[in-house]
Amino acid sequence: KRECGSALFPVKTREWKPLEQRKCTDIPWLLLFILFNVGMLCICGFAIATGAASRLISGYDSYGNTCGQKNAKIPGIELSGRDHASRKYVFFLDPCNIDILRRKIKSVALCVSKCPDTELKTYEDLRNFSAVYGSDLCSYDVQPDTYSTHSNRATKCPTLPVHPSASLPVFHRCMPVDISCYARFAEAFITFVSDNSVVHRVIAGVMTSKEIIMGLCLLALVLSLILMVVIRYISVVLVWILTAVVVVGSIGGTGILWWLYVDHSKSVNATLPALELEVAKDNQKALLIYAIAATVFTVILLLLLFFMRKRVALTVALFHVASKVFTHLPLLALQPFWTFLTLMLFWVYWITVLLFLGSAGSPVQNNQTGLVEFRMDGPLQYMVWYHAVGLIWISEFILACQQMTVAGAVVTYYFTRDKSQMPFTPIVSSVLRLMRYHLGTVVKGAFIITLVEIPRLILTYIHSQLKGRENACARCMLKACICCLWCLEKCLTYLNTNAYTATAINSTNFCTSARDAFFILVENALRVAAINSVGDFVLFLGKVLIVSCTAFAGILSLNYQREYTVWVLPLIIVCVFSFLVAHCFLSIFEIVVDVLFLCFAIDTKYNDGSPGREYYMDKALMEFVENTRKDTERYGKVEAESREMKSMVSLKGQLLF
């Protein structure tokens, strides 16, 4: 039976053909991405060609002279154009004068031949240091003999006392070795500290407990691996226990609110003073509203659990199968390491080029300070924006490559009937398949996320800059826009993951894969809701469990370090790192569950278990399908008997009349 207009415009339904054919997808997007990366390399080359690399590595003084080389004269700058071939180190007159907002040292910088390795308390010590080592620590126009008598010694000589310093391994800067110099910088971030000694103890404690911190981070890694193994064997018990806890908590909370409302109703009487009576009535109304809202929430929750109980069983089965996938594909557990390492290498490159750009441009004298700064004017200043877009797009591309790699490996596992016939290393095969066929699809998906993320970051930056100056309406609108963009980004990220799975199955381009995956998800909306709600909640509790265990172990470990009593910063470092580790591992688990669900939905749609249309699914999922089928047949049989009984009663009535 055709619908209206279907004869004129027939709709061609394309069947899913897992792993049957391969072709390159979204080639124009791959070419665009290659051109974009050529632009990123050109920016790096420009920064190096303009001398920014040498200024960044060797350093330069406040008059535009690069240390360790002979410099050309800069028009209008009196102390520029000096020969610093023997002066290879940058020395700051006041290294503790740090500008937190602009993230740079505001002190005057000089090129010296040696960093002071001992404390210099007087100007006489500065003169003796210059005489012994030939390193002048005051401005170039001040002679060492006049250090003690010069009229401008307070501004042209270093702040006394001069702390011992050492040069950095690659960047030739003289930095104080005493951590007390950085206390001001730490105080800007640790707002709850009112005593400088506390800051010093916190910083010192991190250094003295670094072995404990490293051990606890390793513990978080081990706990994440153990949790992934435990989920496989207790997935059924774990999910149902959590579901029961939520139900009992909702019912108990609702009962307590109604009890409080009744108790307050009894205590409200006309004998109370007018003010107390008004307050009591307001509390009674508030409790009534809370109790009604809790009751509605509990009823909705119970109804959802009743209608979605079979979907919760599907979540349990998917968790069990996902754990078996990690057993057959152990290299999946290493995916977070490779992704993290790749991201770190790219971020180091990106920050290095950004520093190059910060040192590129033409020398300009600051009218307020009189010091030389390097600035890019005209169209060249937009290179920083281009570089910033590259940070987001390439980072999203690396994360998308991880998702596509995991999806390809899991698809190969699911749609291979004989597991012994799988490739020797499905992960490596998935990576090679990605590089050969589907890089363009990954590029396009990453670009879509970038288009949403850039305006969200811009609005977040505007909100932070206007903090305290905008009105309530503007603040509310900004937060609403940021929240909407964040929700859109999360939805697109979830859809992208399923699009990558569809590409791994059928080798179709991004738009076709996203459309096919979207229709499959819409057809299984209740199952998707159950998996995302129950599954994400279980994984979130797993992250909380890992962080809690690591923090508890950290407290026990730091308890034996009696000389150090400030545990705040080490514990924060450990908890943040343990959460990141747990998130990396369990996010891979979450991706595997999502891929398995899409494969399961496709399998049940196009196969029915009959000869020639056998299921691909695992035994655990097969049991779920069989139980669902039995329930459906039982329900159909009861409904047929009911209709037959009604027809017999109707026939009997007709015979009587």
Report, as an integer, the average pLDDT of 269-280.
60
Residue 500 has pLDDT above 90, yes or no: yes
On whether residue 72 sits in a domain, the answer given is yes
Q: Closest by alpha carbon to 242, among 512, 5, 492, 533?
A: 533
Q: Which residues form the domain of 152?
A: 55-193
As given in the structure block, the two tokens for residue 49 are 């060609």
Is residue 152 within 8 Å of 146, Cβ to Cβ?
no
Q: How far is CA 492 from CA 239, 392, 449, 522, in A?
A: 27, 15, 7, 15
On whether residue 438 sits in a domain, the answer given is no
User: Looking at residue 546, what is its pLDDT?
Assistant: 81
Q: Quickly state the pLDDT bin for 561 (edges 50, 70, 90).
A: low
Residue 390 has pLDDT above 90, yes or no: yes
Chain mean pLDDT for the chain: 76
Beta bridge partners of 112: 89
Report, as an integer, the average pLDDT of 116-128.
87
Is residue 181 within 8 Å of 203, Cβ to Cβ?
no
Residue 63 has pLDDT above 90, yes or no: no
Report, as an integer, the average pLDDT of 461-467.
72
Bigger pLDDT: 354 vs 397: 397
Q: Closest by alpha carbon to 46, among 347, 356, 349?
A: 356
Bigger pLDDT: 29 vs 459: 29
590-630 pLDDT, tens digit each: 888 888 888 888 888 887 777 877 778 777 677 766 666 66
Residue 136 has pLDDT above 90, yes or no: no
As given in the structure block, the two tokens for residue 633 are 């047949």
Is residue 91 within 8 Å of 130, Cβ to Cβ?
no
Question: Looking at 26-40, 57-71, 86-100, 151-165, which range is the least confident one?
Answer: 86-100
Three-state secondary structure string covering 173-209: EEEECCHHHHHHHHHHHCCCCCCHHHHHHHHHHHHHC
The pTM (predicted TM-score) of the whole model is: 0.72
On whether residue 106 sits in a domain, the answer given is yes
As given in the structure block, the two tokens for residue 69 are 């080389």
User: Looking at residue 592, what is its pLDDT?
Assistant: 86
User: Looking at residue 261, what is its pLDDT?
Assistant: 81
As given in the structure block, the two tokens for residue 417 are 């009937």
Percent of the chain whose predicted confidence (pLDDT) is above 90: 10
Residues whose CB falls within 8 Å of the CB of residue 586, separated by 6 or more in sequence, listed in order: 224, 227, 228, 539, 542, 543
Q: How far is CA 606 from CA 321, 414, 592, 625, in A?
A: 20, 15, 21, 14
Question: Looking at 40-49, 219-228, 290-299, 403-412, which range is the least confident one?
Answer: 219-228
On whether residue 100 sits in a domain, the answer given is yes
User: Looking at residue 1, what is its pLDDT?
Assistant: 36
Phi-psi region of 64 (alpha: psi -120 to 50; beta: other; left: phi over 0): left
On whether residue 187 sits in a domain, the answer given is yes
The DSSP-derived string for 559-580 is TT-TT----HHHHHHHHHHHHH
User: Looking at residue 444, what is its pLDDT?
Assistant: 95
64-101 pLDDT, tens digit each: 888 888 888 888 788 888 888 888 888 888 877 655 44
User: Looking at residue 652, what is its pLDDT?
Assistant: 47
Bigger pLDDT: 52 vs 549: 549
Residue 194 has pLDDT above 50, yes or no: no
**What domain count does the chain have?**
1
User: Looking at residue 193, what is its pLDDT?
Assistant: 35
Residue 380 has pLDDT above 80, yes or no: no
Give the CA dihedral 303, 306, 308, 312, nearest 10 degrees: 130
Residue 3 has pLDDT above 90, yes or no: no
Residue 371 has pLDDT above 90, yes or no: no
User: Looking at residue 100, what is its pLDDT?
Assistant: 41
User: Looking at residue 468, what is its pLDDT?
Assistant: 60
Which of 229-243, 481-495, 571-585 shows the highest mean pLDDT? Answer: 481-495
Is residue 555 within 8 Å of 567, Cβ to Cβ?
yes
As given in the structure block, the two tokens for residue 409 are 């490996």
Burial annotation 324-347 (CB, 10 A radius, 16+ → b, else e): bbbeebeebeebbebbeebeeebe
User: Looking at residue 604, what is its pLDDT?
Assistant: 83
On whether residue 202 sits in a domain, the answer given is no
Residue 103 has pLDDT above 70, yes or no: no
Report, as an integer, the average pLDDT of 555-581.
67
Number of H helices, E strands in the chain: 19, 8
Percent of the chain whose predicted confidence (pLDDT) is above 70: 73
307-316 pLDDT, tens digit each: 766 666 677 7
Rounded distance, CA 425 to CA 422, Å? 8
Question: Looking at 95-99, 519-523, 548-552, 609-613, which range is the least confident one?
Answer: 95-99
Is residue 537 within 8 Å of 242, Cβ to Cβ?
yes
Bigger pLDDT: 182 vs 21: 21
As given in the structure block, the two tokens for residue 247 are 């139900």
Residue 251 has pLDDT above 90, yes or no: no
User: Looking at residue 197, what is its pLDDT?
Assistant: 44
User: Looking at residue 628, what is its pLDDT?
Assistant: 61
Residues whose CB falls within 8 Å of the CB of residue 121, separated by 6 or more in sequence, listed in order: 160, 161, 162
As given in the structure block, the two tokens for residue 621 are 């999922």
User: Looking at residue 637, what is its pLDDT?
Assistant: 53
As given in the structure block, the two tokens for residue 470 are 């905008």
The DSSP-derived string for 81-128 is S-B-TT--EEEESSTT-EETTTTEE-S-EEEESS---S-B-SHHHHHH
Residue 453 has pLDDT above 60, yes or no: yes
Q: Closest by alpha carbon to 372, among 382, 362, 363, 384?
A: 363
Residue 482 has pLDDT above 60, yes or no: yes
For tokens 């009218």, name the residue: 367
On whether residue 166 sits in a domain, the answer given is yes
Q: Quickly state the pLDDT bin for 147 (edges 50, 70, 90).
A: confident
Phi-psi region of 361 (alpha: psi -120 to 50; beta: other; left: phi over 0): left
On whether residue 567 sits in a domain, the answer given is no
Rounded distance, CA 193 to CA 187, Å? 7
